[in-house]
Homo-oligomer: A and B are copies of this chain.
Amino acid sequence: MQMPINARANTNVSVLPPGDERLPLFARLRDVIASRIAALEWSAGQAIPSEQELARTYGVSVHTLRRAVDQLVREGLLERKQGSGTYVRRPSFDASLFRWFNFGDKSSDGGRTVPESRILERKVIAAPDDIAAKLKLKKPSKLVQILRLRLWGGMPVVTESVCLSYGRYKSLIAMDEHEVGPLMYPLYEHRFGQIVTSVEDELSLGQADARHAPLLGVRIGDPVVIVERLSLGVDGTPIDWRRAYGRGDRFRYRVRLT
């Protein structure tokens, strides 16, 4: 006895916002949940409602709900714990620029310590076209630029220039250095309401110039690794853009390609 259940399986919109009507249910569901995470509706480390409950509130089958969650788990936004619940994951990818460099000198702790940070300069500048484009800012716009020196065990390893939209981040200019702290991403989250969930890095090689060599404690002409990074939020919004110069003799990188 077949029943014509849910006559339009593909157009169930009971509680679901429109989204792109062409996308399958589970994809729209994924977006809805992602935006609820982005809106900090559940804070990191906290459990979201159970699959049963979410499926009920959205009027979809558990399987479909699970598919949406599956994807968010693969994307690293959620984490499942069998028997316990599904939790919002603190973005824990190694977002440190220091991931490109190694400090294996028998330091017992294996790299968990936070590198020191010294702010050298803060200023407001007119956004160059290329940076404005990367940050998706409208044409005539201003940037907050912060120049920092990063040290490891007292040794300077990386110089870093961070660019942020002046509109949202202007208060960084005057903020006390201790309040800024060594890690920017947690600051973005707690003070400015933006969570960094992924970064795009571009690496190349260069030579230390008269400006960077003394800061890094190397000779002019010594090899340096240039890391250009764009940080992105949950929904792909650009948050900051950086250019860093790191000591080449400390560079080490491992990947598995599939």
Instruction: From A24-32, A126-134, A185-193, A244-252, give the one contacting chain B.
Output: A244-252
Q: Across the interface, which residues of B come within 8 angstroms of A254, CB to CB?
A: 200-203
**B93 x A258 contact (CB < 8 A):** yes
**B75 x A252 contact (CB < 8 A):** no
Instruction: Give the shortest distance, in Å, between A103 (CB) and chain B (any CB).
Output: 14
Q: How far is the CA of A173 from the CA of B203 in the complex (A)?
A: 37
Q: Which residues of chain A from 180 to 239 have any CB-CB distance to chain B below 8 Å in the complex? A: 197-205, 207, 223, 225
Q: Which residues of chain A from 69 to 121 have any CB-CB distance to chain B below 8 Å in the complex? A: 75-76, 93-95
Interface size class of A (residues with CB under 8 A): 20 to 34
- Verify if A255 is at the interface (C-beta below 8 Å from B): yes
- Verify if A256 is at the interface (C-beta below 8 Å from B): yes
**For the complex, would chain A's binding face be called helix, strand, loop or mixed by DSSP majority?**
strand
Q: Across the interface, which residues of B come within 8 angstroms of A76, CB to CB?
A: 258
Over the window 135-148 of chain A, the binary record of Cβ atoms lying under 8 Å from chain B Cβ atoms (1 yes, 0 no) is 00000000000000
Contact A95-B257, Cβ < 8 Å, known A205-B225, A223-B205, A223-B223 = yes
**A252 x B204 contact (CB < 8 A):** yes
Q: How far is the CA of A198 from the CA of B253 in the complex (A)?
A: 17
**A257 x B199 contact (CB < 8 A):** yes
Q: Which of B94, B204, B207 contacts A257 (CB 8 A)?
A: B94
Q: How far is the CA of A207 from the CA of B219 in the complex (A)?
A: 15
Q: Across the interface, which residues of B come within 8 angstroms of A256, CB to CB?
A: 198-201
Contact A203-B93, Cβ < 8 Å, known A197-B258, A198-B257 = no
Q: How far is the CA of A199 from the CA of B257 in the complex (A)?
A: 5
Instruction: Give the shortest distance, in Å, between A79 (CB) and chain B (any CB).
Output: 14
Over the window 143-170 of chain A, the binary record of Cβ atoms lying under 8 Å from chain B Cβ atoms (1 yes, 0 no) is 0000000000000000000000000000
| Chain A interface residues toward B at CB < 8 A | 75-76, 93-95, 197-205, 207, 223, 225, 248-249, 251-258
5 nearest CB pairs, A to B: A223-B223, A203-B253, A205-B248, A198-B258, A205-B251
